[in-house]
Amino acid sequence: MPEAALSNPESLPPSLTALALNPVPVRPDGTGAIPPQILHMPFLQRLELLEGEGLHGLEESLQQLTQLTYLSLTDTHLDHLPPSMSALCNLRQLHLFNPNHAQAQEPDLSFLSVLARLQMLDVSLHSGMQQAPPQLAQLTNLVVLHLEETPLEALPGSLSSLVHLQVLGAAYTAVPVAACFGQD
């Protein structure tokens, strides 16, 4: 969709249920910005924000978009994930694939503890993720978990509480293959 169309709130119908922005529209300062008309889409269930240099307005947008069931923040160069992520109680799929290329600090994923309906989580390419977030144990509906290309050295013991887990992606981590099968 042309960027000009996103500058006019009336150009996008409020009835949209899915929206993908790749790349995220850019502000004059070169950073990404969430178009404000997203706040006026009460039926939005699927939102993909790809390839943005930071995301101004993300905090405010997430507080309003409580009907989201799918959120992708891929290659968005975020310094941190906003606390308003915890407002997304209907979320089923969350892609946080490579959110910040340069940052090598442990991501704050504490909001995961309230996402009880989450079925798919992708935190691949988090360069600062030395250990899996302890909140994983609370995601009892999780079916798919991607931890690929993170500096993880061990899988958490809490994985055994994920009784619905069917897919575990741990390729290109420092986790020994034998550890995946309970062997030392």
Homologous superfamily, domain 16-181: Ribonuclease Inhibitor (3.80.10.10)
- 92-96, 104-108, 144-148, 161-165: range with lowest mean pLDDT: 104-108
Measured CA distances, 90 to 69, 71, 75 (Å): 5, 11, 23
Instruction: State which H helix or E strand residue 3 sits in.
Output: helix 3-6
Sequence ranges of the domains in the chain: 16-181
What is the reported pLDDT for 118? 96
**Which one-letter amino acid corresponds to residue 102?**
A
Q: Which amino acid is at 28?
A: P
Looking at 4-13, 51-60, 106-115, 152-161, which range is the least confident one? 4-13
In the predicted structure, residue 123 carries a pLDDT above the cut 50: yes
Question: How many CB atoms neighbour CB 134 within 10 A?
Answer: 13
The predicted model scores a pTM of: 0.83
Look at 75 and 114; give whichever has higher pLDDT. Answer: 114
